[in-house]
Amino acid sequence: MYQNLSPSRRAYEITARVLLYLCSGLTCVLLLFLIGYIFYKGVPGISWSFLTTAESVLNDTVGILPAIINTLYVIVISLIIVLPLGVGGAIYLTEYARNRRLVEIIEFATETLAGIPSIIYALVGNIIFCVSLQLGKTLIAGSLTLVIMTLPTIIRTTQESLKTVPQSYREGSLGLGSGKWHMIRTVVLPSSVDGIVTGCILAVGRIVGESAILMYTVSVSTMMQDFSTIENFLKSSGATLTVALYVYAKERADFAVAFSIATILLILTVVINLAASLAGKKLKR
């Protein structure tokens, strides 16, 4: 490949190539090592009862079912709230807002919000939802705080995908006598489902990985919660997987359980992301 080059240029090209290979190789090795190590340490601790029961002090058994349910709770509730809010906001900003200046300010604000450390959201969420709105340290307060955290992500990714919808689709639809919302609903949104799904995946990733917010706004209980009535549903409070991981590793120094939880977290993230992209493909049709 480099035969025709002068020796110095040849050395230069080969060095660059080797360095780049090393970079990507090292990245892969690190990632594989991390995943491998977590699985190696975590998989032995996973059993049917580990996944399907709550922790029992009397029987001295460990189970993370409550943490799994709590994690799904915050993901589902946060997404139910953040999706309409974020997608709606993005539609307004890209399709309706006429004042360029205002849009720029809002876009700048959402970009800034996306980069704020989550501990700050945690603090604000605690003061607003737990204290001022008297929700207490509950899963619902945690979910609402997560909504604020993921809102910028959803708005940004939705906006980006709305901008990639060709203007000619909009003209075509309006030219046939569609109203503006009809045009958006039938032509623009179906074409930007991909971007919205990407936003969801990113949001779920951040929610699953979040610990600071949940420690500030939800309790660290590892007991089974009671979701039987709406009141209990709103009042329930307990550790999600990340928080449970922290509790086991830091407070009880039980690293085997912590690694098993980490394994479940990894698997859960992959499953949710696959589900989201499947749902996206279905919606597109």
Are 106 and 152 contacting, i.e. CB atoms less than 8 angstroms apart?
Answer: no
Phi, psi of 223 (to 5 degrees): -85, 160
Which of 124-132, 177-185, 253-261, 263-271 is the region at the interface with another protein (rule: CB under 8 A)?
Answer: 177-185
Total binding residues toward another protein, as defined by CB under 8 A? 19
Per rule CB under 8 A, is residue 178 in the interface with another protein? yes
- Indicate the residue among 169 and 255 with the shorter CB distance to another protein: 169
- Indicate the residue among 178 and 277 with the shorter CB distance to another protein: 178
Binding flags for another protein, 117-136, as an x/- string (CB under 8 A): --------------------
Out of 190, 194, 223, 277, which residue is the one contacting another protein (CB under 8 A)? Answer: 190
Residues 93-112 that bind another protein (CB under 8 A): 98
Which of 80-88, 172-180, 224-232, 249-257 is the region at the interface with another protein (rule: CB under 8 A)?
Answer: 172-180
Per rule CB under 8 A, is residue 44 in the interface with another protein? no
- Indicate the residue among 7 and 177 with the shorter CB distance to another protein: 177
Out of 25, 88, 179, 209, which residue is the one contacting another protein (CB under 8 A)? Answer: 179
d(CA 241, CA 248): 10
Q: How near is the Cβ of 168 to another protein at its closest, in Å?
A: 4
Paired tokens of 43: 């998989």
Q: How near is the Cβ of 196 to another protein at its closest, in Å?
A: 16
Angstrom distances, CA of residue 230 to CA of 29, 140, 149: 48, 12, 25
Per rule CB under 8 A, is residue 186 in the interface with another protein? yes
Out of 145, 173, 211, 219, which residue is the one contacting another protein (CB under 8 A)? Answer: 173
Binding site for another protein (CB under 8 A): 98, 166, 168-179, 182, 186-187, 190-191
